[in-house]
Chain A
Amino acid sequence: MYKPLVKVHLWSGLRSLVGQEVVEVRATNVAQMLNALEKEHPALSDAIDAGVSVSIDGKIYAYGLTEAVDETKEIYLLQRIKGG
């Protein structure tokens, strides 16, 4: 199955772990994207396991593992959003 090459922007605290500001992985949804990130960049595993939110075209998903991603979307990893 074809999987688009998505660009994932990392918050800077993660950039030092992989040496890049933007990493590219093949995925069609957020779950695949996070799995691919962990597989290809094991240094990100702790942060991803701790919980991340994902911003897709400006909309912030706290979970959203089934949300679709593709090469046209602006994707940022953010630290997990919580509140009071």
Chain B
Amino acid sequence: MAFDEKTEGFNVVGTRPDRPDGIDKVTGRASYGADASKAGMLHGAILRSPHAHAVIKSINLDKALALKGVKGVVTRADFAEGLTGENWNVLENVMAGEKALYDGHAVAAVAATSQLIARDALKLIEVDYEPIPHVTDVDKAMQPDAPVIREGQASKAVPAGMHPNVVDYHESGHGDVEAGFAEADLVMERTFTTEATHQGYIEPHACLATLGGDGRGELWCCTQGHWNVQKICAALVGIEQSALRVTASEIGGGFGGKTAVFIEPVALALSRKTNRPVKIAMPRADVFKATGPTASTSMDVKIGLKKDGTMTAAWGEFRSQGGAFPGSPFSFTAMCAFAPYALENVKQIGYDVMTNRPKQAAYRAPGSPMAAFAVESLLDEMCNQMGLDPLEVRLKNASKQGTKASFGPTWDRIGLVECLEAAKEHSHYAAPVPEGAGRGISCGFWFNHGGETSVTLAMSEDGTAQLMLGTPDIGGSRASMAMMAAEELGIPYEHVRATVADTATLGYNEVSHGSRVTYASGLATIEAARDTVKKLCARAAAKWGIDEDAVVWRDGCAVPSGPNAGDFDPLPIGQICRKMGATGGPIVGHYEATPEGAGVSFAVHIVDATVDRETGATSVDRYTVIQDAGKAIHPDYVEGQYQGGAAQGIGWALNEEYIYGEDGRLQNAGFLDYRIPVASDLPMIDTVIVEVPNPGHPYGVRGVGETSICPPLAAIANAVSNAAGVRMKDLPMRPSRILDALDG
């Protein structure tokens, strides 16, 4: 795919206009998942398993159905049969079949005339459980005596003889790792662990569903991808995809966690059963217990280093649990681990392991932050031991265009070296480490993604534009898209209204994930705008009676391409659009494609932290994010993504964790006990936008939403370890762990 590149001379791109959704959000006018209602609407509630692992022997609904106000109850029997593959996995997670697989697994749902009645009815459903042994730890789940979650799930790639809970395997690399270690002056191996963390979006999942006996439905929901919701829900309730129209609400955070469905098929099934609209809004405890946290990991990493800082070899084994279903990001963990480094000898192994936990969901750069924590921590420890500057060692070994990636391919144009050099020149790195503090740095890597994308741009008679997008705005994309459309059309940013369209009004759009939106929807927006410009020029050509090729677009006007084209005054966009009905009809540009040029992205983070040796509390005192954006369309949003990734990383590194009791039940399903960072926990997070253009985008854009969460775990761990004088190898570094480490 070739594009007309534009790398300079921007009028709108690179500026910082007001966000289009700002007033709606601060005045309460924005409509989120739980804000919708319909006449005759019922309220849904979901009964969840209190056991980590149990056979469901029977479910008696009689008493619940007899309660006044209850209009219907659904169980697994009310969903489609005969599903296979991931559709079956999703259904099994949405509504348990023969077994409850984790604490919080849905087993039945009620629709009633009020939320209170629905919840009361849940207490009247009689489920006869037979609890069976459970396992929630990734390493224990691989042991020979571990309870089996489900037989027959392993892919053919899994080596023979492994426990049935090991369901997939990855191995990649090149060179001779043992020979590489033999060349090193220092070889070290360490084991690291990370706990599962939740994406922590503030808006719980919520939806409003209508599904009639004719198999046609409407669904309003909070999601990162409504075409994906349409596809999965249609399969799970057994209707045709086009029969279900899905509209995405405003979204109060997603971070990957809203790329999946949880309550939407249940609301549809309840609506079909009751022939009434049904709304479900998840309580926070349900969000923690039954929507995807990220995977937890256990990792062994080994690196060889010469005295001059050359990495001679690297090896890693990454064990990742993603709950009671296949699908943890184990292969990404393995592939990202050593991606920042040009290694002649490297090997990474990954295992996907099932446990009695909720089905994991994507969380910003799934799998990569854990890998960086292990690799970058070990590298820091080795640099300390050898008296090497950790940044110089990273620069010396950095991946660059033409070097071979640890997972195989030869790198195209990438910006890691530029990020490291920016870090080296930054005042933060140049400043002495404050007394009593420790400093940590880390690199991070993420692939980024393109994906199926449709965009339509329709001109209005007054020369303003309506831009219809299919990717829910989870990070400011309406502003960025409006800016790119305005840039191409040559009109003010405020003259473009960007709207996230529903599934009935636009072609298929893949989920807003993989840092793809500014790249892919942006590319499609630019091409839709160029298609529009072509049509605008054609109208001018017709008016002037000259060839279409003799008209060009400049500053929002059609103008003759040169003296030979004729002597005509510039024709402004408003004048062309005012007459469009009489000159050929509506002027609409569109673009549909699967852009495949998403450039990968690297980041470098610098952290100063202090540790209170009496309480074990950590203070993050200074934080700097340096990341390659390719081209920053709206720098405020890019900086916001950088800061957001760092903030979530601080929580993951220091406090956040899923805590399971001996009974396999989640102990901290609420924000009081599951502690995400608040403003007072955070320093000002400084940002540096590096711009190494991505050749796969007309303006050079690379995705920025995910890479920012890759380095924080390691950068903070390195700062804390250097401050405390003891290596921290397990996350989170909560005060009790710090005190234990200090006590030796």
Contact = CB atoms under 8 A, between A and B. Distances in A.
Contact of B157 (A47, A60, A76, A82): A47
B161 interface: no
Contacts of B255: 84
A78 B364 CA distance: 20
B331 A84 contact: no
A64 B159 CA distance: 30
Interface centre among A9, A12, A14, A46 (most CB of B within 10 A): A12
Given A78-B407, A83-B515, A84-B364, 14 more contacts: A11-B407, A12-B170, A15-B171, A50-B155, A57-B412, A61-B596, A62-B450, A64-B596, A79-B170, A82-B513, A82-B514, A83-B256, A83-B362, A84-B366
A74 B409 contact: yes
Contacts of A55: 408-409
A46 B158 CA distance: 12
Interface string A11-44: 1111111000000000000000000000000010
Given A83-B362, A84-B362, A11 B446 contact: no
Given A83-B256, A83-B515, A76 B594 contact: no
A79 B155 CA distance: 13
Interface string B579-612: 0000000000000001011101000000000000
Contacts of B171: 11-13, 15
A62 B448 contact: no
A78 B170 CA distance: 10
Given A60-B409, A62-B451, A13 B363 contact: no
B660 interface: no
Contact of B335 (A16, A74, A78, A83): A78
Interface of B: 155-157, 159, 168-173, 199, 255-257, 259, 331-332, 335, 347, 361-366, 405, 407-412, 446-452, 513-516, 594, 596-598, 600, 696, 706
A61 B169 CA distance: 22
25 contacts: A9-B408, A11-B408, A13-B157, A46-B155, A47-B156, A50-B155, A58-B405, A58-B409, A58-B410, A59-B596, A60-B409, A60-B598, A60-B600, A62-B450, A62-B594, A64-B594, A64-B596, A74-B409, A76-B409, A81-B332, A82-B362, A83-B448, A84-B255, A84-B366, A84-B513
A62 to B, nearest CB: 6
Nearest to B451: A62
A79 B408 contact: no
B412 A14 contact: no
Given A43-B156, A63-B596, A84 B409 contact: no
Interface centre among A16, A59, A74, A83 (most CB of B within 10 A): A83
A4 B332 CA distance: 31
A69 B155 CA distance: 28
> What 4 pairs between A and B have smallest CB-CB spacing?
A84-B256, A83-B514, A12-B171, A84-B362
Contacts of B696: 59
Contacts of B513: 82-84
Nearest to A79: B331
Nearest to B412: A58
Chain A interface mostly: mixed
A83 B706 contact: yes
A40 B363 CA distance: 37
B408 A78 contact: yes
Contacts of B172: 11-13
A27 to B, nearest CB: 17
Contacts, number: 112
Nearest to B703: A83
Contacts of B407: 11, 76, 78
A76 B172 CA distance: 11
Contacts of A9: 408
A33 B202 CA distance: 45
A83 B516 contact: yes
A12 to B, nearest CB: 3
A12 B169 CA distance: 9
A43 B155 CA distance: 11
B596 A46 contact: no
Contacts of A79: 170, 331-332, 335
Given A81-B447, A82-B514, A74 B256 contact: no
Nearest to A46: B156
A47 B155 CA distance: 8
A79 B331 CA distance: 7
Contact of A84 (B169, B259, B450, B596): B259
A59 B514 contact: no
A63 B405 CA distance: 20
B454 to A, nearest CB: 15
Contacts of A59: 412, 596-597, 696
Given A11-B170, A59-B696, A61-B596, A76 B449 contact: no
A83 B412 contact: no
B446 A83 contact: yes
Given A13-B170, A67-B596, A81 B514 contact: yes
A17 B364 contact: no
A50 B259 CA distance: 18
A12 B406 CA distance: 12
A67 B595 CA distance: 12
Contact of B410 (A11, A57, A62, A64): A57
A46 B256 CA distance: 26
Nearest to A67: B596
Contact of B514 (A13, A57, A74, A84): A84
Nearest to B410: A58
B279 to A, nearest CB: 27
B409 A12 contact: no
B85 to A, nearest CB: 8
Contact of B706 (A15, A16, A78, A84): A84
Contacts of A13: 157, 168-172
Contacts of A83: 256, 362, 364-366, 446-449, 513-516, 706
A14 B156 CA distance: 9
B365 A62 contact: no
Contacts of B516: 83
Nearest to A56: B409
A63 B411 CA distance: 19
A14 to B, nearest CB: 7
Nearest to B329: A82
Nearest to B349: A12
A43 to B, nearest CB: 7
Nearest to B407: A78
Contacts of A81: 332, 447, 449, 514
A70 to B, nearest CB: 16
Contacts of B156: 17, 43, 46-47
B560 to A, nearest CB: 38
Nearest to B330: A79
Contacts of B157: 13-14, 16-17, 47
